[in-house]
A and B are shown apart, each in its own frame.
Chain A
Amino acid sequence: MGWLNIYAATYNEDHQSIFDFSQSYGKQLLWICTALILGLIMLMLEERFFSTFSNVIYLVGVLLLIAVLIFGKEIKGAKSWFVIANTISLQPSEIAKYGTALAISKFLGEYNVKIQSFKSQLQAAAILIIPIILILLQPDPGSVLVFCSFIFAMYREGLSGNILLIGVGAIVLFILAIILRTSSIELPLDMILDGKYILIIALTVIAGLIFWMIKSYKQAKLMIAVVLVICVGYIMSVDYIFENVLKSHHQDRINDLLGVTFDPSGAGYNVHQSKIAIGSGGFSGKGFLQGTQTKLDFVPEQSTDFIFCTVGEEWGFIGSFVVISLFMFLIIKILAIAERQKSKFSRVFCYCAASIFFLHFMINLGMTIGLAPVIGIPLPFFSYGGSSLWSFTILIFTVLRLDSERKHLLG
């Protein structure tokens, strides 16, 4: 158990000290100390505290989200920060994340709740939807994605796997629709076939084939027909969503990621520079503090969202491999902890924590190597920033605290 503690602490210091920026570095040290203190407080709290106050913490989180929309300071087009002093700012979505994880755990932990029932699903969805809507209003798509990660935890508790499948399917269709958006095929008789119709026709053909293969089973046939209609409607609406709901810089980033457009000096600049930095690290890296790309400010946002560039450049493939392994180890360890919990509340919470870590890890690393859209969310324990460090520390220590309670219960 102790290693997690050390892991969190030493890794913080080790990598944060890469930065020459004395200011950020100093502030970050302060955050680390306070985070450790917070962690200790967490350890000293009663296990019951978490389940008892989970709804309160959730409510506080939601209230803060509402407050930030009113009093928050707009940074880079999103109202997601409270500026307390000139140099210290807080991101309430981090608190809401924690609160929601607790609330979900509490809800699923109650004996009479069965996630398979539609009513429970609705209730769980409500717990999620409220903060999601509030965060969408900021807007901060990165945090929204993190909230979606709770589906993993619910899946573990028995939520139908179809929901995961539907989610994956929706993403695949979305990507296909966007890639095909700008392409078209010319047919004889002066007909021009739009990309989305190509997709619809392809889906219809597939559906028809399945239809033909399963000759009987009326119900299955009906299902396929319904799915097809939904898919078609979805494809038709992707265009609209893409044009009207997403902001232009999101459109650019998605286009860039999917290779629809290539513009290394415009929308793709961040990712391009980030890939150059990581790629230049080679197998063993340039050595501690020897990075040229990151040091010379070629990579933007390098202390927050693109922190992984420093690792990739200075420690090379070996360093990147170690970091990914450690994250996987951490996440799987949390899952292992989860499985040995006696109380359902603890188990769900551990799953939530693991899901949060995983989503952060996946999106953040993915965007620095050009496999995920550029969405500003931090890499746990690496990125500079107090709120996220606090919230990740609290998550870890809450897991630890709940785990130690297990022995207590046994004893």
Chain B
Amino acid sequence: MNDYQDRRYILIAIFLVVAVTYIFRLFYIQVIDDSYKLSANNLALKHITLYAPRGLIYDRNNELLVYNEAAYNLMVIPREVKDIDTNTFCKLINISREEFDNRMVKIRKYSTRKASILVENITGKEWARIVESLYQYTGFFGEERTMRKYSSSIAGHALGYLNEVSTSILDKLPYYQRGDKIGASGIEKQYEEELRGTRGVAIKMRDNHMRIKGSYKEGKYDTLPKAGFELKLTLDAKLQTYGEQLMQNKTGSIVAIEPSTGEILALVTSPDYDPNKLVGRGRSKYFNSISNNDSLSPWFNRALEAQYPPGSIFKMLQALIGLEEGVISINTGFPCDKKPMNCHNHPPPSNLQKAIQYSCNPYFHDAMKRIVQQGESSSIFTDSPLGLAKWHKHVLSFGLGQRLDIDCPLMKSGNIPGVDYYNKIYGERRWAYSTIYSISIGQGEVMVVPLQMANLAAIFANRGYYYTPHLIKSIGENDSIPAKYLVKNETSVSSKHFDIVIEAMQQVVEADHGTARRARIDSVEVCGKTGTVQNPHGEDHSVFMAFAPKVNPQIAIIVYVENSGFGGTWAAPIASLMMEQYIKGGITDTLKQERILATDFIHGLQY
């Protein structure tokens, strides 16, 4: 009856082909392919992070420096937030409406499904108040975290602080999750991996109302958090505290090292910041106030980052190199004719030790001339590079002109000019000693960092070698520290020459005409050398390098006091007080101490 009746079979065939295709597809998705089930598990199982407590930090005498305190983060899942009275809520959590809106916009941009931190580091006391009414606000909940606390506000730069991990770090290091803290400076950054410990995880099953229904497979896949290692530092909290007190109202730095090990006893930079104010809710305010409003830039770690010309202290190095090269002897004398550089009035430098004691400028100009121009070539333009190359090698062996491998980030390298350096400035064979002589007395292009100078003091104390300065004394239970801090670095000057110079250093302090008479300590033999760093921007910087006692030295120290004038006046007494405090455990000359404590170079008050 109908011409096209058979066509229904074609249509039925089309329909069936589609249906069978779908059935095969479903069979594949549901029965064969497991990846969809895994994805579903990820959604239905809740992974609860168990945070590991960050390692504690102690000083060398087991005094607790850094510990953890409970704090709470107020978390929010934007899509679960419903009809809240925003103004009341803002009052409850103590932020402004504007701030709340800003943060919510940012959080929503990140994710509306994942939990983000709305307010972090709420103290336990404040949290108790908030939590009482938090149940009224769906989508908000608390998360217990810990907050770094500092027993006292010392050594902020050395200890460092934590930051929330940045997006770039999240991309680079998969260990971290959004909202985690990471060491951002100092020891916290250097030993981040040791301190952070290992996060644990508890896998919970949840039902369709997001209620936790118990552990997944009886906790078979759960892991416990592992606490971070405890760190013991080489710092002496008492000495550090005392150093910071002495440097109050002054700009500059103190670095003290135990010469026999390279352990840093004190790392003072002034002005400093208070690490306790860098945690908790006041953090960003404090952060901004010292970033923007402080012309003395407390973020600047002068002990490691400030580069100065070494000044007169450099003369001792010239003496050692001269002796090693055999171009001068202990009895070598030069006239002090106040040429080509000026000098102060002092008895004639008839031998090397007197020259050091009087810190005679022309003497060391002449001494270095013999080092640089040894007459190996007829022309001074070819002779000078030969000599300077030797000199340069010697100086570098003292750890100068390079970034010492200290376990604190951000150290500067300073500058020790060599042949290449001058060739670049003047051109090859276009310079001789007469071009570069100002480096002989530690001025000109020579730049050093306080830590390098403290290390230099340790080299003198050790008579010729050093261990790389470091802050770590032990990590965790075992006493091991990185192997690089156990390597003895020898200088290229033999130790017999050191005794000649050390005798002179003792005279600098002990002799009637010595420049560092203020550095004397009762019944302790102090060896030292003053320096005055010429400062084109204002008053000179006062510098003093020393170690004590002369035999079996316990402490090597460098003190920089910026814009305070002559080295013997301020840096020397500060160094002596530090050494006395460390060696004797107290101060006998309280008059000296009071004079230093009362002096205020920042606001222009001098005693």
Query: A residues near B, CB below 8 A?
Result: 152, 155-158, 161, 275-283, 290-293, 295-296, 298, 312, 316-317, 320-321, 324-325, 327-328, 331-332, 335, 338-339, 358, 362, 365-366, 369, 371
Task: Identify which of A279, A316, A331 contacts B40 (C-beta below 8 A).
Answer: A279
A280 to B5 Cα, complex, angstroms: 43
Contact present for A296 and B208 (CB under 8 Å): yes
Chain B residue numbers with a CB within 8 Å of A283 are 30-31
Residue of B nearest to A298 (CB): B43
Interface string of B1-37 (1 = CB under 8 A from A): 0011101101110111011011101110111010111
Contact present for B44 and A296 (CB under 8 Å): yes
A338 to B8 Cα, complex, angstroms: 10
Chain B residue numbers with a CB within 8 Å of A298 are 43
Smallest beta-carbon distance B80→chain A, Å:
10
Smallest beta-carbon distance A329→chain B, Å:
10
Known: A275-B36, A280-B40, A291-B208. A317 touches B27 (CB 8 A): yes
Smallest beta-carbon distance A230→chain B, Å:
24
Q: Which 5 A-B pairs have the closest CB atoms?
A: A279-B36, A280-B40, A295-B208, A292-B44, A317-B30
Residue of A nearest to B6 (CB): A156
Smallest beta-carbon distance B387→chain A, Å:
61
- Known A280-B37, A292-B208; further 15 A-B contacts with Cβ < 8 A: A155-B7, A156-B8, A156-B11, A158-B3, A279-B29, A279-B33, A279-B36, A280-B39, A296-B44, A316-B30, A324-B19, A327-B19, A358-B15, A362-B18, A371-B21
Contact present for B37 and A371 (CB under 8 Å): no
Contact present for A157 and B4 (CB under 8 Å): yes
Contact present for A320 and B30 (CB under 8 Å): yes
Contact present for A321 and B23 (CB under 8 Å): yes
A276 to B7 Cα, complex, angstroms: 39
A254 to B31 Cα, complex, angstroms: 27
Smallest beta-carbon distance A5→chain B, Å:
23
Chain A residue numbers with a CB within 8 Å of B36 are 275-276, 278-280
Residues B349-387 near A (CB distance < 8 A): none
A177 to B400 Cα, complex, angstroms: 68
Q: Taking the complex as formed, is B605 at the interface, i.e. its CB lies under 8 A from any CB of chain A? A: no
Contact present for B11 and A321 (CB under 8 Å): no
> Which of B3, B7, B19, B30: most chain A CB closer than 10 A?
B30
Smallest beta-carbon distance B26→chain A, Å:
5
Contact present for A282 and B26 (CB under 8 Å): no
Contact present for B26 and A320 (CB under 8 Å): yes
Interface string of B89-102 (1 = CB under 8 A from A): 00000000000000
Residues B30-77 near A (CB distance < 8 A): 30-31, 33, 35-37, 39-41, 43-44
Chain A residue numbers with a CB within 8 Å of B27 are 317
> Which of B21, B37, B39: most chain A CB closer than 10 A?
B39
Chain A residue numbers with a CB within 8 Å of B29 are 275, 278-279, 369
Known: A156-B11, A279-B33, A371-B21. A317 touches B26 (CB 8 A): yes
A358 to B22 Cα, complex, angstroms: 13
Contact present for B12 and A332 (CB under 8 Å): yes
Q: Taking the complex as formed, is B210 at the interface, i.e. its CB lies under 8 A from any CB of chain A? A: yes
Residues B286-345 near A (CB distance < 8 A): none
Contact present for A152 and B11 (CB under 8 Å): yes
Contact present for B22 and A365 (CB under 8 Å): yes
Chain B residue numbers with a CB within 8 Å of A312 are 26, 30
Smallest beta-carbon distance A292→chain B, Å:
4
Smallest beta-carbon distance B1→chain A, Å:
9
Smallest beta-carbon distance A335→chain B, Å:
6
Known: A158-B4, A275-B29, A335-B11. A292 touches B19 (CB 8 A): no
A103 to B221 Cα, complex, angstroms: 65
A317 to B8 Cα, complex, angstroms: 29
Smallest beta-carbon distance B44→chain A, Å:
4
Residue of B nearest to A327 (CB): B19
Task: Identify which of B5, B26, B39 contacts A369 (C-beta below 8 A).
Answer: B26
Smallest beta-carbon distance A21→chain B, Å:
13
Chain B residue numbers with a CB within 8 Å of A325 are 19
A83 to B207 Cα, complex, angstroms: 36
Could you list 19 A-B pairs, sorted by A, with CB under 8 Å?
A152-B11, A152-B14, A156-B4, A156-B8, A158-B3, A278-B29, A279-B30, A280-B39, A280-B41, A283-B31, A296-B44, A320-B23, A321-B26, A325-B19, A331-B15, A332-B15, A335-B11, A369-B26, A371-B21
Chain B residue numbers with a CB within 8 Å of A369 are 22, 25-26, 29
Contact present for B43 and A292 (CB under 8 Å): yes
Residues B484-533 near A (CB distance < 8 A): none
Chain B residue numbers with a CB within 8 Å of A290 are 208
Residue of A nearest to B42 (CB): A276
A59 to B354 Cα, complex, angstroms: 120
Task: Identify which of A161, A276, A320 contacts B39 (C-beta below 8 A).
Answer: A276
Contact present for A276 and B40 (CB under 8 Å): yes
Contact present for B8 and A339 (CB under 8 Å): yes
A328 to B22 Cα, complex, angstroms: 12
Smallest beta-carbon distance A374→chain B, Å:
16
Task: Identify which of B5, B12, B16, B43 contacts A276 (C-beta below 8 A).
Answer: B43
Smallest beta-carbon distance B20→chain A, Å:
9
Interface string of B199-218 (1 = CB under 8 A from A): 00000000110100000000
Chain A residue numbers with a CB within 8 Å of B41 are 280
> Which of A292, A316, A358: most chain B CB closer than 10 A?
A292
Contact present for A278 and B30 (CB under 8 Å): yes
A291 to B7 Cα, complex, angstroms: 42
Smallest beta-carbon distance A396→chain B, Å:
17
Known: A158-B3, A335-B11. A278 touches B31 (CB 8 A): no
